[in-house]
Amino acid sequence: MSALAAAPVTAATASAGSATLLPVNPVLGIVLGVLLLTAVAVAARAHLADRRDHLYARAIAVAGLRAAVQLAAVSYLIGWVVRALPTLLAFVAVMFAVAVRTAGRRITDNHTWWWAAVPIGVGVVPVIAVLLLTGLVPLKGVALIPITGILIGGALTATVLGGRRALDELTSRHGEVEAGMALGLPDRDARLEIARPAASDALLPGLDQTRTVGLVTLPGAFVGMLLGGASPVMAGAVQLFVLVALMAVQAVAVSVVLELVARGRLHRARRVSLPSAEGE
């Protein structure tokens, strides 16, 4: 049995576990609706918006409704997807494509958004390959999809935060970048000096989650396995793997997206180079 596979669970145990966590009934729907409306109202009242003055109230409402529809669809499709390898790989490919599109469009609204595929892919693919080759994760949907989803989600978050912070910093401190170039620094190095500290902050959420696990938070993998009937030791081992793997994936993703921004591959506006000494 794979080291990451859950312990055998009877139908009665699984049903009892899910009922203990959250009963699926009309009350749950009402509470979810109230929470979503509260989030929308607070965001609207505080006028929370991004740098382009796009209000987050509407984005929160759309995200909540999309999540409900998408989870309902996946709940019905997942049993069919995991039956055959081709459909399993196709589902994973869709997960990756959606993550790339989401991350890229969060970072920039021009044609360079597709470069987001590089940090996400470079971060996730080697980890998944190692897990498959070592046999820790079997090539089966019941294990591969959730693990891959967690890692892609972590890479997506790190790529978005790292890319946005790096580009925001370059925009607000463009004078310092130009000063560095004027002093003889290559374009890439001048950008790195300014963007690196801001982009590196994208690692903070993952670091804090890992440092406080068991003391402040009990993440989903741990709780889910316990409710599913796994032993506390197995649940803890799986959660530790998830946290460490996420740190590796996110460190790679932030490093790569920072490099792409520094080299001008991922940008928001047309690059303007300083005139050369010969042209002055």
Q: What is the pLDDT of residues 219-233, one digit of tens each?
A: 666 766 666 666 778
- Which residues 6+ apart lie within 8 Å of 91 measured at CB? 77, 81, 141, 145
- Could you tell me if residue 11 is inside a domain? no
pTM over 0.85: no
- The pLDDT of residue 227: 65
98 and 75 share a domain?
Answer: no
49 and 97 share a domain?
Answer: no
174 and 90 share a domain?
Answer: yes
Share of the chain above pLDDT 70, in %: 83
- pLDDT tens-digit readout, 129-142: 998 898 888 877 77
Q: Taking 90 as the threshold, does the pLDDT of residue 61 lie above it?
A: yes
C-alpha pair distances (Å), 127 with each of 64, 105, 143: 30, 25, 14
Indicate the number of domains in the chain.
2
Rg of the chain on CA atoms, in Å:
22
- 146 closest CA partner among 207, 201, 91, 190: 91
Share of the chain above pLDDT 90, in %: 43
User: Which residue did the predictor score with more confidence, 3 or 188?
Assistant: 188
Treating both helix axes as pointing N-terminal to C-terminal, what angle do 11-21 and 220-228 enclose, rounded to 10 degrees? 140
Domain hosting 211: range is: 84-273
75 and 88 share a domain?
Answer: no
